[in-house]
Structure 1
């Protein structure tokens, strides 16, 4: 699994519509001892659509993981929270990946 920034891992990259995307989190909420962590995710460019919170599973190494199937061809956006109003949202920028349609271009 590729570490995209400190403590954030995403697989696969690039992301294609229909992919099951796996995310692993070892960021500030994990190191602060959060009792639970949620992946907060949605699609789109300006306004997020299909917003959902996915409860992450804690691993033996202290990391948290979750997966989702990408079903929207725009942009996958995500951040993390602990359910107690503590957020890790990349200093308000969140994390975003443009989603590919799977077609090869010349």
Structure 2
């Protein structure tokens, strides 16, 4: 398996590229919501310019031993994302969200 990606270890966010071209990525989250006992975590993401997200979706994440996990196809070379739980609590990197850009 191909493993390239990016991590924000301090906030519990990890993006792993699953293919050499980076078209498929797995996002793993073990941050604030996870540590606060969330029963379900969702990935809120969009593509393109971080100030004008396109193709905005909420994805239900799967709980794993590593943390909450979701695999996506990179529909655009720039992914912007944050997380929320089923109680309406958000982890958005202090309002900055997270971004992952294919190089």
Asked if these proteins are the same fold (TM beyond 0.5), I'd say yes
Q: Are residues 16 and 95 of structure 1, via their aligned partners in 2, closer, same or farther at CA, if it must alter by over 3 Å?
A: farther
Which runs of structure 2 are paired with 1:1-106 in the superposition (5 Å)? 4-5=7-8, 6=10, 7-12=12-17, 16=21, 19-45=23-49, 46-60=51-65, 63-73=67-77, 75-100=78-103
Could you list the runs of 5+ residues in structure 1 that have no partner in the other structure?
101-106
Runs of 4+ residues deviating >3 angstroms? none
Could you list the runs of 5+ residues in structure 2 that have no partner in the other structure?
none
In terms of Rg, which structure is larger? 1
Higher RCO structure, 1 or 2 (CA under 8 Å, sep 6+): 1
| TM-score, normalised via structure 1 length | 0.80
Equivalents in 1 of 2:25, 2:41: separation in Å?
17
SS at match of 1:79: strand
Query: Cα distance, 1:16 vs. partner?
Result: 4.7
Matched residues, number: 96
Equivalents in 2 of 1:92, 1:4: separation in Å?
18
